[in-house]
Amino acid sequence: MTASTQTLSTDFTERPKPGDGGRLSRFPAFTRADLLILLLFVALLALMIFSLTLGRYPVPIPEIIKIVATTGFNETRPYTDKAWVVVEIVRMPRILGVTLCGIGLAMAGAAMQGVFRNPLVGPEVAGVSSGASFGGVLAIMLSWPMWGVVGLAFGFGMGALLIAFGLAKMAGKSSMLALILAGVIVGGFFGALTGMAQYVADPQTKLPSIIYWLLGSFVGLTYEKVAIVAGVTLFAGTLLLMLRWRINLLSLGEVDAQALGVNVEALRWGVVALVALLVAAQVAVSGGVGWIGLIIPHIARMLVGPEHSRLLPASALLGGIYLLAMDDIARSATAQEVPIGLLTALVGTPVFAFLFWKMQGKGWNRE
């Protein structure tokens, strides 16, 4: 059969030489991408340990490793053990929380770009961030405790998503474009509510903390907040990782994916809901930190290629590294801490502009 196949023409253009495109052998992309993902993992761990050393109180790396290795979360040491307090109580929760948020946001972005078949969208498109922001602001205005801020942000984030879903359904076909437009509407509405809240907030007591929270910051990240991010990120992130190969199919387009036996509707909404969970969890604990989900998947794509079963893990790790590095800068570059949301936007926008220029519009417009 093979012999007769050869006689048929396949030479639509010149016949490609084996190993064309700078690739070495048959499966090099697998091993190369796997290696890169492993390297990113090691880099993330190294950066986490390095980040534990950053701060006013100096703790040498061997001491840190000893504390991390020997102290369980249940064990409490006397608070006179300054190194232990600094590492385990002050720095550790923040580093864990920041890393988890970075992982969640970047993975959410990679998944969202696949589902929408467009590298221009971020995980915020469905209006979740705006809803969550308003929830947080409302809780601050009501002088609710920390868990109230987190809970309300989370609740309003998911509420915004449900409204956006509903609006998209109302528009008839539940197309992804309809969801983006619904996200704009919902985002605009909650943006206005947030503005209203700021307008009426007490400028002496409430307004500063509202503004600081909206700018985005990981200051005062406690183990309770980390538990929320960790729970949601582990749950939604694991499911998303398990679905990662299927996101390739969603990126093909509706009719084609359906013909390949994919339940497009269910899978699509499922992925979007998981993405919303990840985003809401992050906004709930740290306010508005943007641009991670938009730029990190692009950089990951340059490293491991566009195939989502490699792209999602690479994006996740890269997102953790990026956000942790940004937070390190935010808390140690200047005497007064810079809100990290400002930093990620200041860095994110020019990087995005550069990517935009580099891609020359390639693959940006395929609906």
Partner 1 sequence: MSESVLEPAIEIAAVDFAYGPKMPTVLQGYSARVAKGSVFAILGPNGRGKTTLLKLLLGALKPLQGRIRVQGRLAFVPQLFQVSFPYRVLDMVLMGRARQIGLFSLPSKADEAAALDALDRLGLADLAERSFDELSGGQRQLIIFARALASGADILVLDEPTSALDLKNQGIVLEWIARLRDEGLTVLFTTHHPHHAHAVADDALLMFSQDDYACGPVDSVLTEVNLLRLYGISLRQVAFEHEGEELASLIPVYRGLRRTAEGL
The residues of the shown chain that bind partner 1, judged by CB under 8 A, are: 1-2, 5-6, 8-10, 12-13, 15-21, 23, 26, 28-29, 114, 117-119, 242-246, 248-249, 251-262, 301, 305-307, 309, 363, 366
Alpha helices in the chain (DSSP H): 2-7, 28-53, 61-70, 82-84, 92-115, 128-141, 146-170, 176-200, 207-215, 223-242, 244-250, 254-259, 264-286, 292-304, 308-332, 340-359
- Residue whose entry in the numeric block shows the structure tokens 């990026």: 322
Of 206 and 298, nearer to partner 1 (C-beta) is 298
CB of 251 to partner 1, least distance (A): 5
Structure tokens at 362: 């390639």
- Residue whose entry in the numeric block shows the structure tokens 């600081």: 212
Of 152 and 317, nearer to partner 1 (C-beta) is 317
The answer to whether the CB of 88 falls within 8 A of the CB of 78 is: no
CB of 225 to partner 1, least distance (A): 29
Structure tokens at 304: 């491991």
- Residue whose entry in the numeric block shows the structure tokens 């609740």: 155
CB of 77 to partner 1, least distance (A): 42
Q: How many other CB atoms sit within 10 Å of the CB of residue 54?
A: 15
CB of 243 to partner 1, least distance (A): 7
Of 366, 362, 333, nearest to 347 (Cα)?
A: 333
Cα–Cα dist 119/301, whole Å: 10
CB of 78 to partner 1, least distance (A): 47
Of 19 and 58, nearer to partner 1 (C-beta) is 19
CB of 212 to partner 1, least distance (A): 38
Of 259 and 335, nearer to partner 1 (C-beta) is 259
Of 3 and 69, nearer to partner 1 (C-beta) is 3
Of 115 and 210, nearer to partner 1 (C-beta) is 115
Give me the amino acid identity at 127.
G
Cα–Cα dist 266/274, whole Å: 12
CB of 188 to partner 1, least distance (A): 27
Of 119 and 339, nearer to partner 1 (C-beta) is 119
CB of 16 to partner 1, least distance (A): 5
Cα–Cα dist 173/359, whole Å: 31
Helices 340-359 and 308-332, interaxial angle, to 10°? 140
CA distance between the termini of the chain: 40
Of 69 and 266, nearer to partner 1 (C-beta) is 266
Give me the amino acid identity at 193.
L
Of 130 and 251, nearer to partner 1 (C-beta) is 251
CB of 264 to partner 1, least distance (A): 9
Q: Which helix (H) or strand (E) holds 107?
A: helix 92-115
Of 121 and 323, nearer to partner 1 (C-beta) is 121
CB of 37 to partner 1, least distance (A): 14
Cα–Cα dist 346/339, whole Å: 11
**300-307, Cβ contacts within 8 angstroms, sequence gap of 24 or more:** 300/106, 300/110, 301/119, 303/33, 303/36, 304/32, 304/33, 304/36, 304/37, 305/29, 305/33, 307/248
